[in-house]
Amino acid sequence: MKKLVIAAIVIVGLLLPMFFAKADVQLDGIIPINSEKVNSVHVERLAGGTRTFQINDGYEEVVIRKVINWINTAKPLNGVNQSLFYKSPVKLQVFMSNGDVAIIEPIFNCVTENGAKTCSIMDGEVLFIENHVKVRLKSQELYDWLLVGWEEESYGPSKEELLDETLYFQYYSHLDKKYADFVMCPKIDSIERIAGGDRGHIIQASALNYSAHHGDQPYDRIHFTLTDTQEKGVHITNVSIEKGISDKESGIQCRR
């Protein structure tokens, strides 16, 4: 009998953490979105204006991964009630490859007094809806992008980006093959004449490692310096790797 009691205690001890772990997942709200399973992100404003970002567009892919990261890192909040529901002026839809659609809208707090209904937007908060499950999230970045940021995203690379890209890959071939992965968001950080003349230049360039673009690890960034002269050609003078840069820094590197 004593052995049965001990066995029961052990089983309960094993099951309880599993139960509470499952409960925590439910309380936290949503399962993180895998950006690899996203086809597109569509934003539509009630007063007019829409835009769709496609995952198969190399430029727009960066925007999508940025938005998905904000969703996955948003802080879940308690309390989703009818006072928070209001006809949203803007809606973001995330279309998955399996046909599922997640919806994100700003949250309004509505109060009725003397028969008059007054609604005010909740700064920094959004409502996440997927499979009829509604979760209240806190993310200032996601909130700001939902209201105005999406309209400010560029349509393809600028002339400056294209020039940086062209010049970077002219010198990229002079790097050791072990740096072959650093091809994402190339940038010419500085260029100056050698001794004031026009026959040679000192160039500093940088780029991110493409293998980290799936979002499961932070980006590394290469920095290298070279001289390019008419007499001696291209000579790499310094190479360094900056490990695990922040999302903010990778966004700056990619001009996003």
- Whichever domain contains 49, its CATH number is 2.60.40
pLDDT in tens, 16-40: 333 333 333 333 546 789 888 999 9
Q: Same domain for 66 and 80?
A: yes
**Within its chain, how far is the Cα of 34 from the centroid?**
11
Q: Same domain for 18 and 54?
A: no
Q: Same domain for 60 and 127?
A: yes
Q: Same domain for 17 and 47?
A: no
Q: Same domain for 76 and 109?
A: yes
Three-state SS across 164-218? HHHHHHHHHCCCCHHHCCEEEEEEEEEEEECCCCCCEEEEEEEEEEHHHCCCCCC
pLDDT in tens, 41-94: 999 998 889 999 999 987 888 899 889 989 999 999 876 655 455 678 899 999
Instruction: Determine what percent of the chain is predicted with pLDDT higher than 70.
Output: 85
Q: Same domain for 176 and 132?
A: no
Write out the residue range of the structural domain in which residue 237 sits: 159-253
H/E stretch holding 240: strand 233-242
Radius of gyration over every alpha carbon of the chain, rounded to an integer in angstroms: 25
pLDDT score recorded for residue 93: 97
Nearest Cα to Cα of residue 185 among 218, 204, 157: 157
Sequence-distant (6+) residues with CB within 8 A of 58 are: none
What is the Cα–Cα distance from 55 to 190, expressed in whole angstroms?
31
pLDDT score recorded for residue 220: 96
Q: Same domain for 167 and 136?
A: no
Neighbour-count burial for 240-253, b at 16+ CB within 10 Å, e otherwise: eeeeebebeebeeb
Q: Is 73 in contact with 56 (CB distance < 8 Å)?
A: no
The total number of structural domains that make up the chain: 3
Q: Same domain for 94 and 1?
A: no
Q: 134 has which bridge partners?
A: 129
SS3 244: coil
Which among 112, 137, 152 is the end of a domain?
A: 152
Nearest Cα to Cα of residue 77 among 117, 123, 22: 123
Q: Same domain for 103 and 213?
A: no
Q: Same domain for 184 and 202?
A: yes
What is the Cα–Cα distance from 134 to 206, expressed in whole angstroms?
42
Which among 124, 152, 180 is the end of a domain?
A: 152
Q: Same domain for 7 and 62?
A: no
pTM score of the predicted model:
0.66
What is the Cα–Cα distance from 58 to 29, expressed in whole angstroms?
31
pLDDT score recorded for residue 154: 85
pLDDT in tens, 145-167: 999 999 999 888 888 999 999 99
The helix/strand count (H/E) of the chain reads as 6, 11
Using CA atoms of 250, 91, 45, 53 in order, give the dihedral in degrees to the nearest 10.
40
Nearest Cα to Cα of residue 225 among 164, 174, 156: 174
Average pLDDT over all residues of the chain: 84
Q: Same domain for 66 and 6?
A: no
Which among 117, 152, 187 is the end of a domain?
A: 152
Residue 74: half-sphere exposure toward Cβ, Cα within 13 Å: 30
